């Protein structure tokens, strides 16, 4: 396994224009609410990041993260698709822990959380990327999903 680095950064410090645009889209869909809902996003309007976007349900008691949709570009690059699976089924334990920490921080701080990651992912794939987790809430207040984007540098 390679070395791992995950650094949390301010959303404004993201290098990826696609992730900055995703954050701006999230902000515009909030309106007067704390969080937008999944229904506020039309995939046809998100072609600029669609293959790098995941939709993750937040399940509670116990807390688990379920991939309703796993980004197709990530699945192709890593060799496994998490669609229809829980985060704890991710075959890479160390990377799973990084993702869990990112998602948990987003829930705890109740705001978008951006991160930079540098790590050897498998024998074939180098993970050198930026990731953004955005909280969603059907009722505008209680986070029930995460919209996540990941872009390689």
- In angstroms, the CA 50 to CA 82 distance is 16
Kindly state the average pLDDT of the residues 117-143.
81
Give the range of the structural domain holding residue 105, as residue numbers without chain letter: 4-152
| pLDDT value at residue 125 | 58
Q: Quote the number of domains for the chain.
A: 1
Nearest to 117 by CA among 1, 2, 8: 8
Contacts of 92 (CB under 8 A, 6+ apart): 78, 121, 122
Distance of alpha carbon 61 from the chain centroid: 21
Q: Would you say the C-alpha torsion 140, 116, 63, 52 has a positive or negative sign?
A: positive
Q: What angle do CA 86, 8, 135 make, to 5 degrees?
A: 50
43: tokens are 């995939």
CATH number (domain holding residue 30): 3.30.450
How much is the pTM? 0.92
Q: pLDDT band for position 48 (50/70/90)?
A: very high
Mean of per-residue pLDDT scores for the chain: 91
pLDDT score recorded for residue 2: 47
pLDDT over 90 percentage in the chain = 75
Highest mean pLDDT among 3-17, 39-53, 122-136: 39-53
pLDDT for 124: 47
What is the DSSP code string of 46-66? GTTTGGGEEEEEEETTTTEEE
When pLDDT is averaged across residues 10-24 and rounded to a whole number, the result is 97
pLDDT of residue 94: 77
């Amino acid at each position: 396994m390679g070395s791992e680095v995950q650094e949390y950064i301010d959303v404004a410090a993201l290098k990826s224009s696609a992730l900055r645009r995703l954050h701006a889209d999230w902000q515009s869909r909030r309106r007067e609410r704390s969080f937008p809902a999944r229904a506020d996003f039309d995939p046809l309007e998100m072609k600029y990041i669609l293959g790098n976007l995941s939709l993750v349900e937040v399940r509670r008691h116990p807390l688990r993260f379920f991939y309703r949709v796993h980004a197709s570009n990530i699945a192709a690059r890593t060799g496994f698709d998490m669609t229809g699976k829980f985060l704890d089924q991710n075959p890479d334990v160390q990377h799973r822990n990084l993702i869990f920490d990112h998602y948990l921080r987003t829930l705890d701080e109740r705001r978008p959380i951006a991160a930079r990651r540098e790590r050897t992912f498998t024998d074939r794939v180098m993970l050198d990327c930026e990731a953004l987790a955005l909280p969603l809430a059907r009722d505008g207040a209680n986070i029930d999903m995460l919209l996540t984007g990941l872009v390689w540098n």
